[in-house]
Amino acid sequence: MYNELPCDYYNSNPGKRQEENGRFYAKESIMNETQKKAAQMDTDEKVAYARRLIAESDNVVIMAGIGVMMECGALNYDRDTEAYRIEEEYHQCPEEIMSASFYNVRMERFYEFYKKEILSTNLHTTATFPAIEKLQKSGKLKGVLTYNIYGLNKEYEIENVYELDGNIHDNRCSKCQKLFPMEYLRDSKGMPVCDECGGTIRPGIRLHGERMRNDILTDAVNAVSKAEVLLVLGTNLFDNMVKFAVNHYQDNKLILITKHEHFTDKAADLVIHEHVCDIMPKIV
Ligand SMILES: [Zn+2]
């Protein structure tokens, strides 16, 4: 959901920043084989090509962006209309409310927002999820990096999911560490407190301004660096986390599926501008 660069990772891996590959800065004349082929194709041909690249690979990694969640009915607070509504209603922008500093100082206000705007959202899964599960069952899928805080993947047999922003289900008491399900927080009157010790409950998501967990990040980056096919879904390559992950990708089969065009799209090897849930079942 949020876009800070995980600087701690860079600091503990000093070579990485220099190593950032030329993908984002390559001249258009220097196209790789995949890009050259894809440049001549219409959408149907690109879908068939993506299907072939996946069929021929036994190491596929997925990077699922905010677009995948939006297709499930989640709101995107980065959108102007939503941000405006929230500012009107809460007198603060969503990034402020969902930040660690706001949480620490105005916990009651935070929970008012969090319970109503995040935990009470009714989401549905899409055709994307069974498609990912199918890929998992085929043995090709080696990891899924996701911003999905709603844990929708838990309804499917999908392994090695790296929840970069945490999730809404694993909430802990800040004092005794007791775990609480999402429903406990959502249905509590006012601010949720621990029924054992009375401590405040820390939501399981990563708040704005907080670091990404290093263990998750390291595993995610390892998966990306070994991937043959990298499927980037419902986001663009300008997103900092995507950019960070892509900079560790070594191969030339980066398939980007997103409804919204972006100027960085040309850094992908194959781009399909459609809804993720329409395309995923066709390529696995
Ligand atoms: Zn407790």
Task: Give the C-alpha separation, 121 to 86, whole Å.
Answer: 15
Ligand 1 centroid to residue 96 C-alpha, Å:
27
- Cβ burial of 250 (10 Å; 0-12, 13-18, 19+) is exposed
Cα 107 to ligand 1 centre (Å): 16
Distance from the alpha carbon of residue 16 to the mean position of ligand 1, in angstroms: 40
Long-range contacts (CB closer than 8 Å, 24 or more residues apart) made by 193-198:
197/173
Ligand 1 centroid, distance to 80 Cα (angstroms): 38
CA distance linking residue 79 with residue 87, whole number of Å: 12
Rounded to whole angstroms, the Cα distance separating 10 from 60 reads 25
Distance from C-alpha of 34 to C-alpha of 207, rounded to nearest angstrom: 38
- Residue 25 CA to ligand 1 centre (angstroms): 50
From ligand 1's centre to the CA of 228, what distance in Å?
A: 45
- In this structure, what token pair is assigned to residue 155? 């309804």
Contact 215, 162 (CB under 8 A): no
The reported pLDDT for the residue numbered 25 is 56
188 Cα to the center of ligand 1, angstroms: 15
pTM of the model: 0.85
**Sequence-ordered list of residues with C-beta below 8 angstroms from that of 39, at least 6 positions apart, any chain:** 31
Tokens encoding 39: 């440049």
Q: Could you tell me the distance, in angstroms and rounded to a whole number, from the CA of residue 97 to the centre of ligand 1?
A: 24
Going from the Cα of 195 to the center of ligand 1, the distance in angstroms, rounded, reads 7
Instruction: Name residues of the chain where pLDDT drops below 70.
Output: 1-29, 77-80
For residue 277, report the distance from its CA to the centre of ligand 1, in Å: 40
Token pair for residue 221? Answer: 């980056």
**All structural domains of the chain:** 28-74+122-167+211-284 (3.40.50.1220), 75-120 (no CATH), 169-202 (3.30.1600.10)
Distance from residue 200's CA to the centre of ligand 1 (Å): 7
**Strand arrangement, sheet containing 161-163:** 161-163, 141-146, 60-64, 229-233, 254-257, 270-272
Q: Is the C-alpha dihedral spanning 235, 239, 244, 246 positive or negative?
A: positive
Q: What is the pLDDT of residue 227?
A: 97
The predicted pLDDT at position 26 comes to 53
Q: What is the pLDDT of residue 126?
A: 94
Q: Which residues contact 93 (CB under 8 A, 6 or more apart)?
A: 83, 86, 87
Q: What is the pLDDT of residue 88?
A: 87
How high is the pLDDT of residue 95?
A: 85
Using one digit for the tens of pLDDT, what is the confidence trace for 107-141?
A: 999 999 999 999 988 889 999 999 999 999 999 99
Q: Looking at residue 153, what is its pLDDT? A: 78
Q: What is the per-residue pLDDT for 152?
A: 78
Separate counts of helices (H) and strands (E) for the chain: 14, 9
